[in-house]
Structure 1
Amino acid sequence: MSILFRVLQRRNPQDITLPEKFYAAAIGDGSVDMETLAEQIAYQCTITQPDCYAVLMALERNIVDALKQGRIVKLGHLGNFQVGISSQGRDTAEELDASAITKARILFRPGKSFRQLLKNLSFRKARS
């Protein structure tokens, strides 16, 4: 198995006067939703699909709740989730308040098995 990629021509956003270059972009090959994951896990365990789906939904809800509280969510070998923010700069610490925050995002730090997966991927170019 390998990851498909396509070729994209792009300018350097930091210096648009430079000539365009070609870059690889991964192509998603379908998706897997919570119901499918629950079904697959149910076949691998002793719990039923509805029970597994309920656990996955509860996991999602609890991750969101913990992130709202500013907590780091540690999911063992899966990895960690955390809220990250970007802000405008201010001249002094006193001038910096919540209004300077421009963006919030979810950060995911993969666990060992995911990092290992990335080292062992193979890629193939999609036909145009």
Structure 2
Amino acid sequence: MMQSYVIVARKNPTKPTEAPKYYALARSGRTASVKEVCRRISERSSYSKGELEGAIGEFLLEMYNVLQEGNIVQLGDLGNFRMSIINGTATETEKEFKSSCIKKCKVLFYPGSDLRKLCKTMDYGLYRTGEKTDEGEDPGDGGGEAPDPTL
């Protein structure tokens, strides 16, 4: 498989007078829904689409519960999910710190060996405007991850 990318110009926000530098930005083709993934699995296995959708729904609910308890969800070689805290206010002493000093939390994902291997072996191809996906549609913006221009 090949990861498409586009080339984007990014200015360094700490050096706004410098000329922009060019970076690759991942280009997603389309989104595969849970229903589509379940249909694809059911076509090559003995599980029905409904059984798979039910199992995934229950799994996601339990994953939510495990994270809510402050635990890590490990998905084998796929990776781990865990909670992280973003502090809004620092205090001078430990005694002054209250839970109200915490701004919010977020879920972190750490890829496992399968995804790390995928990233090491991925081929890349420049996306050309007007290319069509498997569905015959232009994928649009598709998102992606911008590089850190300060590096």
Distance 2:67 2:41 in 1: 25
Misfit runs of 4+, over 6 Å: none
Aligned pairs (5 A) from 1:4-83: 4-83=4-83
Greater percentage in helix: 1
Alpha-carbon offset, residue 126 of structure 1: 1.7
In the superposition, the TM-score normalised over structure 2's length comes to: 0.76
In the superposition, the TM-score normalised over structure 1's length comes to: 0.88
Higher RCO (CA-CA < 8 Å; seq separation 6+): 2
Residue segments in structure 2 that go unaligned for 5+ positions in a row: 130-151
Match of residue 98 from structure 2: 97
RMSD: 1.7
Distance 2:97 2:42 in 1: 50
- Partner SS, residue 94 of structure 1: coil
Amino acid aligned to 1:126? Y
User: How many pairs align?
Assistant: 128
**Residues 16/96 of structure 1: CA separation in 2 closer, same or farther (3 Å cut):** farther
Among the aligned pairs, what percent are the same residue?
27
Residue segments in structure 1 that go unaligned for 5+ positions in a row: none
The superposition leaves residues 85-114 of structure 1 with CA deviations (integer Å, 9 ceiling, x where unpaired) of 221333222222222222322111111111
**Residues 118/106 of structure 1: CA separation in 2 closer, same or farther (3 Å cut):** same
